Amino acid sequence: MFVGDSLGRNQWESLICLLHAAAPQSPAQLVSADPLYTYKFLEHEVTVSFYRAPYLVDIDVVQGKRVLMLDDIAENAEAWRDADVLSFNSGHWWTHTGTLQGWDYMGESGRYFEDMDRMVAFQRGLTTWANWVDLNVDPTKTRVFFQSMSPTHYSSKEWPNPVSKNCYGETAPVAGINSTAGQASGQQDQVIQAVLRGMKSPVRLLDITAMSALRKDAHPSVYSGDFSPAQRANPGAGSVDCSHWCLPGLPDTWNQLLYTLLFYK
């Protein structure tokens, strides 16, 4: 089961495609019941699920307002208990503001906050997740992974010799290791690594940041299907997807790394 935001969904979709390629005639079934999406390979009794929880912790509605509960994960986590493999990701949504912000207030220990330092909030929320894993996951039955931050390519200043202002029009990876795209999410990765180091449970870090930072050419750009012809004709910052990844594509490599971690401890 993948748990997290749309980058986790990206990897979930990739794994489904890879499994279908290995068993193309196997009957399958998709069950969608937001926030849980489950793909079943019926003949093999295998299920691959995605649970949408961008912050991992719960969001409660209090007097009509969305409250991001930094110290509560019980509602979301109920769906994760029986998984054989859990792969988590979180980080991007914690820095969103304005219309992209998924909450109205933050809540902790019975108190409500209009805002706080976002990395402090991320650390507190991720610690709540870590405590849940330590208390509820049996490492002899369930393998747990956490994906590092997936970089974006919205600023061509992050790589040499750009052909446009963002990932639009880029057709080749960054040569060598000269991209700084992964640095924008460095604070989140520092929080993730610090929380994982403090855990009792053996959680493996799926470190995809540096390798993904090189792939400025691997995003849907204007071809994701979400943009109008007019937007595609004028690929400005608001009409280009330089966050998610094409399939087939980079998330397939993430899953190859996950496979390696699963079978080679």
Prior bond to 27 cis, omega within 30?
no
Is residue 242 within 8 Å of residue 154, measured between CB atoms?
yes
Catalytic residue list contains 241? yes
The token pair that represents 190 in the structure block: 């520092």
Structure tokens of 128?
């709540």
Residue 185 known to be catalytic: no
User: Is 244 a known active-site residue?
Assistant: yes
Contact 7, 54 (CB under 8 A): no
Active-site option among 92, 153, 219, 244: 244
- Here the tokens at position 204 are 């493996």
| Per-state percent for the chain, helix, strand, coil, to nearest 5 | 40, 20, 40
- Pairwise CA distance, residues 169 & 166, whole Å: 8
Q: Name beta bridge partners: 105.
A: 67
Among 217, 241, 243, 252, the active-site one is 241
Q: Are the beta carbons of 213 and 179 closer than 8 angstroms?
A: yes
Contact status, residue 261 vs residue 204, Cβ threshold 8 Å: yes
Instruction: Name the active-site residue from 6, 155, 201, 239.
Output: 6
Cis peptide before 139 (omega within 30 of 0): no
Catalytic annotation, residues: 6, 241, 244
